[in-house]
Amino acid sequence: EAQVTQNPRYLITVTGKKLTVTCSQNMNHEYMSWYRQDPGLGLRQIYYSMNVEVTDKGDVPEGYKVSRKEKRNFPLILESPSPNQTSLYFCASIRRGGPEAREQYFGPGTRLTVT
């Protein structure tokens, strides 16, 4: 089954304690992305990756890091989490199916609470 998986699904942590949210896709997609979703603000892109070893900032990259060492994995790293990073996080990958196809598949989400 084609899917994007994220772990953990729920996480409660304390300010300053480094954490990593993993993301993996089994569709051989080149493009992957991380979003956060907040009430009243919608989905905002944090970082994206066009391919292995190619990453770039989205709209809200401050406080986050990413890496793309393998095509299937795109972990999100919070070096020193703060309460304003409490949010619902989604990983996504895009199928590149030709000039008219940009089908994006989302993971199930990770709900992060930073106290």
Partner 1 sequence: QKEVEQDPGPLSVPEGAIVSLNCTYSNSAFQYFMWYRQYSRKGPELLMYTYSSGNKEDGRFTAQVDKSSKYISLFIRDSQPSDSATYLCAMSGKGAGSYQLTFGKGTKLSVIP
Q: Is-contact 111 9, C-beta < 8 A?
A: yes
Size of the site for partner 1 (CB under 8 A): 26
By the rule CB under 8 A, 75 interacts with partner 1: no
By the rule CB under 8 A, 45 interacts with partner 1: yes
Q: Which of 64, 72, 73 is nearest to 35 (CA)?
A: 64
By the rule CB under 8 A, 53 interacts with partner 1: no
Q: Which of 42, 62, 69, 115 binds partner 1 (CB under 8 A)?
A: 42
Amino acid at the residue 31: Y
Q: Is-contact 30 71, C-beta < 8 A?
A: yes
User: What are the residues binding partner 1 (CB under 8 A)?
Assistant: 4, 31, 33, 40-45, 48, 50, 58, 90, 92, 94, 99-109
